[in-house]
Amino acid sequence: MSITSKQRAYLRGLAMPLDPIFQLGKYAVTPEFTQAVDEALAKRELVKLSVLKSCDEDPYELADILAGRTHSEVVQVIGRRFVLYRPAKKPMIELPRDKKSNA
């Protein structure tokens, strides 16, 4: 799965008003945490997470690790927060189409 820059911008707009539903602490990414994020992505498609100050890991690395483990896309990383996206089997979020794919 790969999203275009136009789709990424659209998802950033949708994620802006969202509050983080998960917080990563000093134990970072455990299998249980990964499973919880995976389940949230299945229900919501778009999930915002925050990295606590007690976590020494880089938010960019954590976003990449979680995206890989949950088969999702990193939409953005700002400071200690990041957003993940994965379409559901019946997508609720309709992404804008690329002009090239309409030809």
Structure confidence by residue, pLDDT tens digits, 38-68: 999 999 999 999 999 998 899 999 999 999 9
Question: Domain residues for 49?
Answer: 5-86
Q: Report the DSSP beta bridge partners of residue 21.
A: none
- Provide the domain count of the chain: 1
Report residue 12 CA to chain centroid gap: 10
Q: Does residue 23 lie within any of the structural domains?
A: yes
Percent of the chain with pLDDT over 90: 74
pTM of the model: 0.90
CATH number at residue 40: 3.30.110.60
Q: Does residue 91 lie within any of the structural domains?
A: no
SS3 77: strand
Residues 50 and 88: their CA atoms lie apart, in Å, by 22
Tracing tokens 């917080």 back to the chain, one arrives at 23
Q: Report the DSSP beta bridge partners of residue 85.
A: 46, 73
